[in-house]
Amino acid sequence: MTDSFLWIGLTNVVQPINIAAIVMGTLIGMFVGAMPGLSATMAIALLLPLTFSFEPATGLAMLASLYLSAMYGGSIAAILLRTPGTPAAAATVIDGYPMAQAGKAGKALGYSLTASLIGGIVSSIVLLTVAPMLGRLVLNFGPVEIFAIAVLGITIIGSLSQGSAVLGLMSGALGLLISMIGMDPTTGTPRFTFGNLNLFGGVEFTVALIGLFSIPQAIRLMMGGDTQTSSRISNVRDRMLPTAIEFVKMLPNSIRSAGIGVATGLIPGTGGDTASWFAYNEAKRFSRNKAAFGTGHPAGIVAPEAANNSVVGGALIPTISLGIPGSSSTAVLMGGLMVHGILPGPTLMTDHGDVTYTLLWAVLFANVALFAVGMLFTRACVSVTKIPNRVVGPVIVVLSIIGAYALNNSIFEIWLMLGFGLFGFVLDACKIPTPPLVIGLILGPVLDTSLEQSLLIGQGNWMIFLQSPISAVLLAIAFLSILQATPLFSWLGGLRRRSAGASESEVDSRKTHG
């Protein structure tokens, strides 16, 4: 039965109306992703009413391709303007923008596009072949395991700190504190709200991200004049796609990062932003040239871009198999299924196998459309760098204000976004890294909720985190990661190297005198 649905889905997806829907969704997604402040979730929610008149398979194919292409589109603004178009592109800024400043904007965008294609294809293959098995695996993850994953994610902060590790940890702690604002998820007690009703729901992560990344860059552009623009104009004609040798070099990193993205997407509540930071951290860990990260290193672009596109396939697995949205975007997609009278859950692949497998094939075809359309759209986007900085700066501010307001139609969130913008500008001036703060904002709510749920399950016994084998292994990896980042570990490593060097010198001396 599954094989028949597989071929029925392939037959459906190659129909002209569905191909047109995929291309249209890809175009819209890239446009939305490239615009600072606009997210894939927002775009899907806005496009959802337009799909009511379509067949379910056609409407879902458009929404899925929009979701996928918005992930790549976010890297365009991240690389060209240091303003991530989507939260998932925040990690791409670290190496993408320096590469663009070095006159290799086309190459940076080419790395992003190629990595997105590889990550998307890997996740599509996983989605089509092992979705049932992976869907059952997710059942093993409860609050205890999710808490362990959040703790492991916190250990990334040390490796993302440029310069002082203490400043990085302080920035991460600030992010965790900010994420605690709002109602306690278990008791309903207000925390750090200062009596302001607008803060009872917490700080909208997208609002904070827009402010932290967009406003400081806009201020720098307006204060710095147009000298930066002229240097970028002369460098936009460089080769975009990687050479065959560069492609072979980036392939292991891309596949590893795609695997991280699929695994992260499988866990409900996580998303492309979390996967991007995980993949960036692992790319840096495996690299022989760790010092090059943050200076325009290709691996720093490839890792987050492959990961955030592969999250799409991973996040769709719990959405389709269990009815549990793997991310906010798949939650809206799940709403699209329900609007068309299709209830996500364990019986979805049997009761509505034709629509389901059409959606799965659409994800694969959307990757091909993304690569083809991206070749044209990306080069057109390079022309953004020809706009004077004093024009780009105010435009970024206006788009950021529109994006912050469009989330919940709230004037308060505009002021909150501007406040985060000024805060981010101060952090940059004080050389305090922003990425650890972002990690704290992302993982704070997950850490908070899963910790309270776990302690309720264990009746206050902290040993519950060691009773689960999955949790125990993850916490052990986190502990080893912390040890690796400590000065003691570095000192012991240096002492070992010096001892080895002294031993070699002694042996050479004996050979010489002998």
pLDDT tens digits, one per residue of 41-64 = 666 766 766 777 788 888 888 888
How many CA atoms are closer than 13 Å to the CA of 255, on its beta-carbon side? 6
Q: Residue 135 pLDDT more than 60?
A: no
Q: What is the C-alpha separation between 324 and 316, in angstroms, rounded?
A: 9
pLDDT at 402: 81
DSSP result, 73-87: HHHHHHHHHS--SSG
Residue 205's Cβ-side half-sphere holds a number of Cα atoms within 13 Å equal to 24
Among the residues of 35-142, which ranges form H helices?
40-47, 56-81, 92-101, 105-129, 131-137
Cα-flanking dihedrals φ and ψ of residue 183, to 5°? Answer: -80, 135
Concatenating the DSSP letter of every residue in 338-371 gives HHTT---STTHHHHTHHHHHHHHHHHHHHHHHHH
Convert the pLDDT of each residue in 180-221 to its tens digit.
888 887 777 888 888 888 888 888 776 887 788 778 877 877
Phi and psi torsions of 382, nearest 5°? -60, -25
Chain mean position to CA 367: 17
Over residues 11-37, mean pLDDT: 81
- Say which residue, 436 or 237, is predicted with more confidence: 436
pLDDT digits (tens, 9 = 90+) for 73-106: 878 878 877 777 666 777 888 888 888 888 787 8
Q: Are 452 and 180 in contact (CB under 8 A)?
A: no
φ, ψ of residue 191 to 5 degrees: the values are: -130, 125
- Give residue 324's pLDDT band: very low, low, confident or very high (50, 70, 90): low
What is the per-residue pLDDT across 420-433, written as a single tens digit (0 to 9) for each? 989 989 888 888 87
Phi, psi of 182 (to 5 degrees): 120, -165
Q: What are the angstrom distances between the C-alpha of 256 and each of 73, 114, 252, 294, 305?
A: 22, 14, 6, 20, 12
pLDDT, position 507 = 47
